[in-house]
Amino acid sequence: MIELTITEDVADVVLTAPERLNALGPDDLEQLGGAYAEAERAGVRALVLRGEGRAFCAGRDISGVDPRDDDVLRYLHGRVEPVMRRIADFPAPTFAVAHGACLGVGLGLLIATDVVYVAESAKIGSPFKNLGATLDSGGHALFFERLGAHRTLDLIYSGRLMTGGEAVSLGLFSRVLPDGDVLQAARAAARQAASGPTEAFVASKRLIASLRDDRIGFWRSMSDENRAQAALCDTADYREGFAAFQQKRTPSFTGRS
């Protein structure tokens, strides 16, 4: 579930499914896009995105997904990418609070946000090797741009998760703060932005978006990710990874189709 509140020109968008670490299914993504659309109609001058509970967002909710008939391209291209574009194009400064698991689609939401304040407890990376899948939601483009090919592939091959401090030190996000301080800091930054020249801020936001897309072809890279993920759906390792995750056991991969 997604909640939206607006106070003094600042919108607060909250992922409210802590029992599943705010993992997102298709309905959740539709609600999330709707919350941003409503905030835009209200003319807010800044927005803060956060998650309740122990994590920001652990990624896609696959609890009820059958990998044998999973249309992952429809989920990623038809659901995730439009929401990320809406977040990236939001006509006001946006901020996110990252804590706990920030993985998969959750990482994508952070990538699409202007400024990300990261808690020390944050876990960021690519755990997809355990699913027989690949990093998605723009992760390849972000990691390659900031970390280079070798460190990106090291993270993907190992499945190691970075701490909040490590992610910020490597230039992935804005700043790292103690868990107890990060939400207050993000809200203060949003209020400050809302009181500033927001049209000028949005102009800068669009210029940065243009530079990023020209440099690494962000949305093209994301479309390539979507197709790669869809192709992996037909592999035995993908089906094994899904089954192992759902059954809470260690997967046994063969490396063969």
52-71 pLDDT per residue, tens: 999 999 998 888 777 777 78
93-152 pLDDT per residue, tens: 999 999 999 999 999 999 999 999 999 999 999 988 888 888 889 999 999 999 999 999
Q: Is the pLDDT of residue 244 over 90?
A: no
Q: If DSSP codes are grouped into helix, strand and coil, which group holds residue 256?
A: coil
Please list the alpha-helical segments (H only) found in the chain: 26-41, 72-75, 81-88, 105-112, 139-158, 164-169, 179-194, 198-216, 218-232, 236-247
CA distances from 130 to 4, 9, 67 (A): 34, 42, 14
What was the pLDDT predicted at 81?
93
β-partners of residue 51 are 15
What was the pLDDT predicted at 102?
96
Q: Could you write out the DSSP letters of every residue in 54-105? A: T-SB-SB--TT--GGG--HHHHIIIIIHHHHHHHHT-SS-EEEEE-SEE-TH
Strand order in the sheet with 161-163: 101-102, 123-125, 161-163
2-42 pLDDT per residue, tens: 999 999 999 999 999 999 999 999 999 999 999 999 999 99
What was the pLDDT predicted at 257?
66
Alpha-carbon span 227 to 110, nearest angstrom: 22
